[in-house]
Amino acid sequence: MRILRISFACTLALAAALAGCMGENKPAPPPIETFISSPYADVHTFAIAPAINLSGSRDFDQLAVSDSLFAELQQVSGLNVLPLNRTLFAMRQLGIRSIDDPAQAQKIAESLGANGLIVPAVTAYDPYNPPMIGMILQVYTPRKSPTAPPEKQPVSQAGAVFNATNQSVLRELRDFARGRTQVDSALGDQKFLMDSDLYLRFVSHAMVRRLMEVERARVSGR
């Protein structure tokens, strides 16, 4: 009887080990969330403008670019972000069809009561694997008063080209993907290379991070 008990216990232990190796009933590890903090001492409100297409490509929706940036800006702690439709409404009220100069961007920021307006521009776009997106983000702030002298605008700018053939871009993509997917997913970060919308999310996140770094340097006087 004792031998049978030992044999049965060994069988259970072996079955548990095999189940562990095969991944049965093994919970997937949680995503590793990326975190971006606002560089401002108090809560700042930003609006997002419709993206400008400087790439020559017509393979993407300019409003979808702005919506993707809006989603990533919302993840920044200490930042209040107005949705794109608020900006489009303000532009209609002001009779502005497209943002062609700093004065228009300042007027929109003033109309929205925002601390700044972020104007994105897509400078390069190739959705096919390996994808490539180039982007510039500019920040325009409202006038301090109607009689204030003109200020240099935009107050800050960040730009980069995210070419998935570049190893540094792929490393940054892997870090981002760990915060958005299960690390034991069959595709892992590869699905961000095969889906243009997901790659745009990565680029939007990376650009928001870069813009906040530029703004941190600006407000600190560095």
State whether residue 207 is helix, strand or coil. helix
Name the DSSP letter for residue 115.
Answer: S
Least confident window among 17-21, 38-42, 87-91:
17-21
Amino acid at position 175, single letter: D
> What span, in angstroms and rounded, lies between the C-alpha atoms of 157 and 210?
9
Q: What percent of the chain lies above the pLDDT cut of 90?
A: 68
Give pLDDT, residue 1: 46
In total, the chain counts a number of residues equal to: 222
On the 0-12 / 13-18 / 19+ scale of CB atoms within 10 A, 149 is exposed
pLDDT at 95: 96
Return the minimum-mean-pLDDT range out of 121-135, 171-185, 202-216: 171-185
Is pLDDT above 80 for 15?
A: no
Q: What is the mean pLDDT of residues 130-142?
A: 97
- CA Rg value for the chain: 24
Model confidence band, residue 30 (pLDDT cutoffs 50, 70, 90): very low
Dist. CA 92–CA 81, nearest whole Å:
19
| Average pLDDT of the chain to the nearest whole number | 84
- Using one digit for the tens of pLDDT, what is the confidence trace for 47-96? 999 999 999 999 999 999 999 999 999 999 999 999 999 999 999 999 99
Q: What is the pLDDT of residue 28?
A: 46
DSSP assignment letter at 19: H
> What is the residue whose two structure tokens read 């991944």?
23
Evaluate whether the domain defined by 37-163+203-217 bears CATH number 3.40.50.970: no
Question: In which element (H, E) is residue 46 found?
Answer: strand 44-48
Place of tokens 């900006």: 87
Total-model pTM: 0.80
Given a contact cutoff of 8 angstroms between Cβ atoms, the answer to whether 120 and 69 are in contact is: yes
What is the model's pLDDT at position 149? 74
* pLDDT score, position 111: 96
Q: What digits encode the pLDDT tens for the residues 162-198?
A: 999 999 999 999 988 886 655 445 566 688 898 999 9
Lowest mean pLDDT among 37-46, 69-78, 144-153, 170-179: 144-153
